[in-house]
Amino acid sequence: MTRSNDSGRYTALVSIRNGNHDRVFRFTPQFSSTEDAVAYAIGEAHLWLRQRAA
């Protein structure tokens, strides 16, 4: 997910469901496009999932 801020830039969010729980991550980097923000969120989600599997 993305959100736009007052300066017209975008922040990234990702929600990961684990059973009955959702974990929502909100990231601080700001991006000039929603595509860049989504790509960042997907990358961070993959890193988090790999760390959990290790």
**Tens-digit pLDDT profile for the chain (54 aa)?**
899 999 999 999 988 888 898 888 899 999 999 999 999 999 998 998 899 887
Predicted local distance difference test score (pLDDT) of residue 11 = 95
Residue 21: which domain range? 2-53
pLDDT of residue 43: 93
Give bridge partners of residue 4 from the DSSP assignment. 10
Tally of structural domains, the chain: 1
Give me the helices (H) in the chain, please: 34-53
Question: What are the tokens at 35?
Answer: 């595509």
Residue 15: its H or E element: strand 10-18
